[in-house]
Chain A
Amino acid sequence: MSKKIERVQAGEKVFDWLLLLLSIGVLIEAYRIDGGLRLNSAGSFPVGLALVMLVSSLALIVSHRYKRRDESIKSALQECQVFLSDHFRSHIVVFSIAAIIYLAAIVWASFYISTFIFLAAMFIYFRQGRVVSSLIITTVAIAVIYVLFTVVFRVYLP
């Protein structure tokens, strides 16, 4: 009887191996807690959870035996290309980088200024250059955030 072959996404097998590495790292860290191997100590439960992570990530790797890449993917290089084109599309990369810069900028440029620049830049980029309407939406959004969080909820913002 033939076993049904499941398909994996590009990069899925590598990701599962990374989870195994993470589990090993967590197990080492949990073992370092005093009393990690005793049945009732600060370390016993973390060690137990780390072992559960390890076993389940091993089970995921073993399950690869029954999984195949998409038929259109012939080589590891091609899989890498598919992975990059799926998850590193320009708008995802731009948004991620903008998000990191935005979070870094909040500390030295203040919340409202950095948020205004971030929202305006993202709206203009995602809406393919509609500058005026993007700036209007940004201004309205900032006004709503100010009224809601600073005036109503009295949240302190940097």
Chain B
Amino acid sequence: MSDTLSFLLMAWLNPGLLGLTALGVLAGIYIGAIPGLSVTMAVSILISFTFSWHIDNALALMVGIYVGGVYGGSRTAILLNIPGAPSAVTTAFDGYPLAQRGEAGRAIGLSTVMSVIGGLIGVLVLAGTAPYLSGLALQFAPRDYFLIAVLGLLLVSSLSGKSLSRGIFSVALGGIIGLVGMDMVTAQPRLTLGQMELLGGIHYVVVMIGLFGVAEALYQLHNLAKVPVKQKVDKIVPPLNMVLKFLPLSVRTSVIGVIVGALPGTGGDIASLFAYDHAKRSVKNPTRPFGEGAYEGLVAPETANNAAVGGAYVPMLTLGMPGDAVTAVIIGALVIHGLNPGPMLMIETPHIFWFTVGNLALANIFLLIFGLTGIKIFSKIVEVPKAVLIPLILVLCVVGTYSINSNMTEVYWMLGFGILGYWLKVFGFQMGPIILGVILGPLLDESYRQAMSSVGDRGGDFLLALVTNPLSLVLTSVITLVLLSNTPLKGWLSRRFGRS
């Protein structure tokens, strides 16, 4: 117990970690707020600089950026009607009309307080559920891991992007990229096109920086001339009675946020959409009609997207499955530092888990402080024109990629992935599923081969185990249902039963 408490308070009591968390939150708010920059992009680039750092320092900075970044996107959504991050798209629905009514300060203040409430609820759920889940996960067979990874990737495919086919293609493409290189079991080259340079594989940070950095920069070139409309900001701290009035809604939407965030591959954007939909359905008398400046329409997504951060850490720390693109990158950081994300993390390195929990709570406290101050400077900084931002993003991507192995070939690969990512993005493919595929592909391959070996490489026995083991049966059923719900069968059934 005393060990747990000391791990929990590690970031709170160590001045260096305290400073890095504060710096991360502050940087995250601006990164999340500046359209064109994203948290995933920042964490992807950052990972390459923190290779040589102590893991606690690297995690403190990343956690800070993650928490700050998810919140930061809402500020530009309210002030400029330009969501700085996908999770803030819903915030703009009512946030911007509030700003147009001259209530921008109050909207920002309320969104800050609600984000912190959501974030803290997410942390509580993480601390309460993860130890039990990881204990349960230790009982899983390789076959179950395989099924969980398939389910996670299927959910990513179905929930992101404009069609399931695009999502599945993205995940499979990511998996193929992740498998390039020498096979760890047989030492055979796989998908290397006969190139010696590819025997070591393609570093996933290279793919991440290309897809999230360069592709995004190229995509932003389409809106180079877009000039935001500025809003006046005053009275930022919301009155207590206002906070108390919206507290029940924020608790409800926090729960939605945590649950949605815990589904592999979902994240704050989907959580905020679900929460907004819930607010629309459940609030009978909003302050104003939804879409015209209802505070409820601001509270719901803002609470949910920050609660989703804690939720996203649950599958990451217990199963080694990333909850969203940022936690996918953080898994990479843990692996690079020799840690083993998954159920063994709690046994081998419990301090990492409790340190992360304490650090997330601390980041939310800093979020409250930074969120309610410095708004005047903020308004100036987020006006950085894209003409300046886009070339700088490319330079940062080059530095980030080169610093991994001091290898220019990887920089060229990064540019290649950036161009590929740009075209995929143009035609409606999401980058998140590709990255999840890159990270989970090798893990899936490993658990599949272990599962096959456990049944003596007999396909029939493998299939039989999927339906005879209770946990495997549940997972197989869910996978089948998810697949069927995305086929014409769903429409046929609803028409048939609707008619009868």
- Interface residues, chain A, with chain B CB atoms under 8 Å away: 9, 11-12, 15-16, 19, 23, 26, 29-30, 33-34, 38-46, 49-50, 52-53, 56-57, 59-60, 63, 87, 89, 91-92, 95-96, 99-100, 102-103, 106-107, 111, 115, 118-119, 122-123, 126-127, 137, 141, 145, 149, 153, 155-158
Q: Report whether over half of chain B's contact residues are helix, strand or loop; otherwise say mixed.
A: helix
0 or 1 for each of B19-51: is its CB under 8 Å from A? (1 = yes): 000000000000000000000000000000100
How far is the CB of B182 from the nearest CB of chain A, in Å?
A: 9
What chain A residues lie within 8 Å of B49 (beta carbons)? 149, 153, 155
Residue B166 CB within 8 A of the other chain:
yes
10 shortest interchain CB distances as A-B pairs: A126-B387, A122-B391, A40-B452, A56-B169, A59-B165, A42-B183, A52-B172, A45-B445, A155-B403, A56-B168
Residues of A within 8 A of B419 (CB): 96
Q: Which B residues, 186 to 241, have Cβ-Cβ distances below 8 Å to chain A? A: 186, 188-191, 193, 218, 221-222, 224
Is B175's CB within 8 Å of the partner chain A? yes
Whether B388 sits at the interface, judged by CB under 8 Å, is yes
Q: What are 21 A-B pairs with beta-carbon distances under 8 A?
A: A12-B427, A29-B191, A30-B191, A33-B190, A42-B190, A44-B449, A46-B176, A50-B172, A52-B172, A53-B172, A60-B165, A60-B169, A63-B163, A87-B426, A92-B218, A102-B394, A115-B398, A123-B387, A145-B395, A145-B399, A156-B406
Given known pairs A127-B387, A155-B403, the reply for A103 and B412 (CB within 8 Å) is: yes
Q: Which residues of A contact B427 (CB under 8 A)?
A: 9, 11-12, 15-16
What is the CA–CA distance of A134 and B311 in the complex, to the nearest angstrom? 44
User: Contact mask B400-412 → A, CB, 8 Å, 1/0?
Assistant: 0011001010011
From B182, which residue of chain A is reached at the shortest CB distance? A42
**CB <8 Å contact, B179 and A46:** yes
Is B448 close to A, CB under 8 A? yes
Choose from B185, B193, B395, B415 the contact partner of A29 (Cβ within 8 Å).
Answer: B193
Known A-B contacts A46-B179, A49-B176; the reply to A95 vs B390 at CB < 8 A is: yes
Asked whether, in the complex, the Cβ of B449 is within 8 Å of the Cβ of A40, the reply is: yes
Residues of chain B within 8 A (CB-CB) of A40 are 449, 452-453, 457
Which of B168, B190, B449, B453 is A52 in contact with, Cβ under 8 Å?
B168
> Is the pair A39, B457 in contact by a Cβ cutoff of 8 Å?
yes
Q: Which residues 140-199 in B have Cβ within 8 Å of A in the complex?
A: 163, 165-166, 168-169, 171-173, 175-176, 179, 183, 185-186, 188-191, 193
A53 pairs with B173, CB closer than 8 A: yes
Once the chains are docked, how many angstroms separate the CA of A53 from the CA of B170?
8
Binding site for A on B (CB under 8 A): 49, 163, 165-166, 168-169, 171-173, 175-176, 179, 183, 185-186, 188-191, 193, 218, 221-222, 224, 385, 387-388, 390-392, 394-395, 398-399, 402-403, 406, 408, 411-412, 415, 419, 423, 426-427, 441, 444-445, 448-449, 452-453, 457, 459, 462
Closest to B452 in A: A40
**Is B190's CB under 8 angstroms from A43's CB?**
yes
Q: Select from chain A the residue with minimum beta-carbon distance to B457.
A: A40
A42 and B218 contact, CB distance less than 8 A: no
A106–B408 touching, CB < 8 Å: yes
- B172: which A residues are within 8 A, CB to CB? 49-50, 52-53, 56
Complex CA–CA separation, A45 to B451 (angstroms): 13
CB contacts (< 8 Å) of B191 on chain A: these are: 26, 29-30, 33, 46
Closest-by-CB residue of B relative to A20 is: B169
